Amino acid sequence: IVNDDAAPNLTINDVTLNEGNAGTTTFTFTVSLSAPAPGGGVTFDIATADGTATQPSDYTQKTLTSQTIPAGSSTYTFDVLVNGDTTPEGDETFFVNVTNVTNAIVTDGQGLGTIVNDDITKIHDVQGNGATSPIAGSTVTVEGIVTANFQGANKLKGFFLQEEDADADADPNTSEGIFIFCNTCPTPVAEGQRVKATGTVSEFIDSPGTMTEISATAAGSVVVTDAGNNLAQVTPTPISLPIAGVVDDYYEAREGMLVTFVDTLSVSEYFELGRYGQIILYQGGRPQQFTEANPPSVAGNAAWADNLSRRRVVLDDDNNAQEWYLTTSTPPGPADGLQYVYYPRANGGFSAGTQGVDFFRGGDLVNGLTGVLHWSFPGFGNATWRIRPTNANPTTFTVANPRPVTPPNAGGAIHAVGMNLLNYFTTIDTTASNSTGPCSPSGTLDCRGADSAAELNRQRERASIVICTLNADIYGFAELENTTPSDSITDLLGAVNTRCGGAHPYAFVNTGGTLGTDAIRVQQIYRTGIVSPVGSPLSDLDPIHNRPPTAQTYDVVDAANPAFGQRFTVIINHLKSKGSSAGLPGDAAIGDGAGASNATRTAQASRLLTWINSTVIPAAGDPDILLLGDFNSYAKEDPINTLVAGGYTDLETLFHGASTYSYLFDGQLGHLDYGFASSSLLSQVTGADAWHINADEVDLFDYNDEIRDSPGEATFEEKPDGSALVPPRVVFAPGTPYRASDHDPVLVGLFLVDDLAVTKTDGVTTATPGGSVTYTITASNAGPDPATGATVADTFPAVLTCTWTCVGAGGGTCTASGSGNLNDTVNLPAGGSITYTATCAISASASGTLSNTATVSGGGASDSNAANNSATDTDTLTPQADLAVTKTDGVTTATPGGSVTYTITASNAGPSDAPGSTVADTFPASLTCTWTCVGAGGGTCTASGSGNINGTVNLPAGGSVTYTASCTISAAATGSLSNTATVTATGVTDPNPGNNSATDSDTVNAAPGAVVSGTKTASAGPYTVGGTITYTVTLTNSGTGAQADNPGNEFTD
């Protein structure tokens, strides 16, 4: 029953108007009655009151009393003057209160006046210098340059604005950029345009933080004020990593701004590239898992994570949708054939093709990354800071980790591989559950592999390519279906043997049934005719293992293999994963870096050692053990420490140090996949390495196809179909090994094999005794394994006197120099060599041939080609001696009846000895001679004789013989006395025969006669009578003969 006799209801309205930039704006409030005023009218008082607006600065205070709405009227107006200004501020309010009402019932006696700030607010004033905006909830108008545009239903539904450099403030803690959310975005914008946006400031919550934004969703709230490209007015803010101080505070001060990273960044995580379009980059190179290099530690792991947060950059795409490209996404993505993943941008998105242009790998680099800084949802976990792309600054990828075309060279005569098959199931997964299904020995667990026959075909092909390319003799597989005893391994081997079985097809080690309780198992295969199983396989069924390890002993049975006759045992393992607790005390993840089930894995490792020592080695009769498989533990965790303490060596770390890896998780590298050698096998291991064909590859390349096979396949497993794009964007490359699994296979080489070789030459075929030869002796190793402590030997012939030097190449080492025979210990890595230069003097007495052999041997490896381990150089010795003879009697004339003495010298200037040479001298008939001979420098001759000389002499190089011949000249000799001596070599070539004879010639004088003359002189005067005069008489014979005492006087006076 409505009381129609009651007084009317009184209300006052609310008023919202723009403030204005100057003067006053009239806010008119209306007091209304629900019915005309009764007789006497309605009276009341009315007055303003402060809210967030205050008088007199924001409005003019006004108070009126005893105001009346006359009888029969129903409204009254009340004007309030609001002051205009140009000061950016939030919206403000004041009140108009109606009191002391008579003849009416007050149902709303307070009017609200909202002063809408219509001034241009600087973006830094909206952002403020704290974690949130100081004016959240206010309506503001901002103007700036569009730095990035993400309008569109499939994008972020907005754009980023930034103040021009000229309008930035001086406070480093206030951001100059902001996100404008426009939802349906009725006004399109473009990068570089100057835009004015009016809307409400808010903090968009992305736990655990917020992103300051302005919602400008109404028509007309976004206005393009300059359609040109004004990006030059905004300078990207440089960021240098690692961040110091509080990371969130650092980025908060740059929220929404255009930034550029000055550091080179490494591609480190790409698991969410397909799902959410994001990549994780790190400054300072790709990080390792904490426990790859450190023992588990809660504090240490936290510090490690903090350090990573300062180096990490999340590079995101233009949206936050999951698999935005699928037609089943919300909103739907492009049609099949037109779908793509955002990065890389060079050819329009991710695809098989050219690295750096169509795809990237882990370890590739990004330089000068520029984009807008956004706080947003990461796909998993809490929101994080990320970089959104801009058209003006596309991200480019530089290839720094090219795809390995061939497997690593592990050396050795026998090769073994540990390989995770990424759930090789021949039972197709058709259930929506990830935990239950028809697989495993119990038939109750999920089938984890391919979701269709087409996907299985892809998986089978790729697995067989990897196996055949590795070309190992033994494989230990993890993650093979464990539903039937052999269906899956038989299926895989069919493809492998078709591709590469040849004369030695692979066979599997038959454990006789399913193995353990899990849906997956371990399995070994081996190449028949190369190795042969010894005895039956052994599996440890201790309850600590739900995937029991399997051991098989092998003999090398290929007689052509350098390791023929070797025996060893391979054990394949797959320890409990880190993802969940197995329930033992100590299995809960505590944040120390070891993950869940560390206690179980440690117990499994301990049990493995016990089982090996008690069961495996006694059965094998040989202590050489190789452990392979997925141990689900990083290098410094307890399970690995247990195995190392038990005498097993981590081979990847041994050969490659702390940088080794086989798996990527959360952007951090480490190795879960191992080869361990027992102490007895260790010296026979030639190498171990992971083939990085999986961990470095984006999972978009795996065997999943472009069809979602509902209900068994998760949405994220459906790949984008870009086959109709130009160029096509296709993410599966048939015939390639890349991304066959998420773990890299690990290759181990056993039993050293090298190919040592030696060459030797002096570059000539003949040599001269007394001369020299220079030998070049090169020992090399064609590998594949190093030869450590090999021996190079050369026993030089006795006629050689040698000194030598040696230099290495390709890592080869040797003794730098020496003399005499060679017997040197050297190191020859695969591809290395050493070269000796031996300079040898040949004995002058050498004869026949000069034959000399060098050898190389040893080095701890089997030599695959012993035929090239020695080299011989043979030269024919051709003696050469420069014989010479001289002869002289020291005079040029001779007298009949007199004598002469000849000196005859025969010599050998070498270089060779001249034994059995002949010195001859046939004296003229007018001479009667006797002679003596002496040798010098080793020369020998007959000591004396008479008559002609025809002596056999020995003339070593540098030696000589000297004859002294004393000869009487016949009195009847006349004319000249000419005499020739010769020297002749026997069996030796004389290079200079012109000095092999010498002649001495003398003139023979006439028969002798006397020519006597005399002189007489007197002593000096004066002469006196009676005095004495002395006479001197001198007789002189100037003839050639004596004056005989002839009868009579020969001189008279």
Domain spans in the chain, listed from the N-terminal domain onward: 9-116, 123-235, 247-388, 414-697+716-750, 753-877, 881-1004
- Residue 97 bridge partners (DSSP): 47, 110
pLDDT at 1008: 56
The topology under which CATH files domain 9-116 is Immunoglobulin-like (2.60.40)
Q: Which CATH number does 881-1004 carry?
A: 2.60.40.1530
pLDDT at 1036: 80
Judge if 9-116 and 881-1004 fold alike in CATH terms: yes
Longest dimension (CA), the chain: 225
Stretch (H or E) spanning 893: strand 893-894
Rounded (10°) CA dihedral 575, 576, 582, 588? 110
Residues ≥6 apart with Cβ < 8 Å to 469: 406, 407, 737
Residues ≥6 apart with Cβ < 8 Å to 163: 122, 123, 124, 144, 145, 176, 177, 234
Residue 80 CA to residue 113 CA, distance in Å, equals 9
Cβ proximity of 197 and 221 under 8 Å: yes
Q: pTM to 2 decimals?
A: 0.75
Residue 894: DSSP 8-state: E
- pLDDT, averaged per 10 consecutive residues of the chain (1053 residues), comes to 73 94 95 96 98 96 97 97 84 95 97 88 95 94 97 95 97 98 97 96 90 95 95 98 97 98 98 95 98 98 98 96 92 95 96 98 98 88 92 97 97 96 97 92 96 97 98 98 97 98 98 96 98 98 97 97 95 97 97 98 98 98 98 98 98 96 98 98 96 98 94 89 97 97 98 94 95 97 90 97 98 97 96 97 94 93 90 96 96 94 96 96 96 97 97 96 97 93 94 96 77 79 82 75 61 68
Cβ proximity of 175 and 166 under 8 Å: no
Q: Which two tokens stand for residue 562?
A: 């350098």
Q: Which two tokens stand for residue 413?
A: 């005569």
The burial of 328, by beta-carbon neighbours within 10 Å (0-12 exposed, 13-18 middle, 19 or more buried), is given as: exposed
CATH architecture of 753-877: Sandwich (2.60)
Distances from the Cα of 863 to the Cα of 168, 585, 757, 782, 790, angstroms: 74, 53, 9, 10, 11
CATH architecture of 414-697+716-750: 4-Layer Sandwich (3.60)
Q: Which two tokens stand for residue 182?
A: 């426009």
45-71: string of b/e by CB count within 10 Å (b at 16+)? ebebeeeebebeebbeeeeeeebebee
Instruction: Please give the CATH superfamily to which domain 123-235 belongs.
Output: Nucleic acid-binding proteins (2.40.50.140)
Residue 655 CA to residue 649 CA, distance in Å, equals 11
Cβ proximity of 522 and 509 under 8 Å: no
Residues ≥6 apart with Cβ < 8 Å to 950: 918, 919, 920, 921
The burial of 206, by beta-carbon neighbours within 10 Å (0-12 exposed, 13-18 middle, 19 or more buried), is given as: middle
Task: Region of 910 please: left (phi>0), alpha (psi -120 to 50) or beta.
Answer: left
The burial of 44, by beta-carbon neighbours within 10 Å (0-12 exposed, 13-18 middle, 19 or more buried), is given as: buried
CB neighbours of residue 405 within 10 Å = 8
pLDDT at 735: 97
pLDDT at 1030: 84
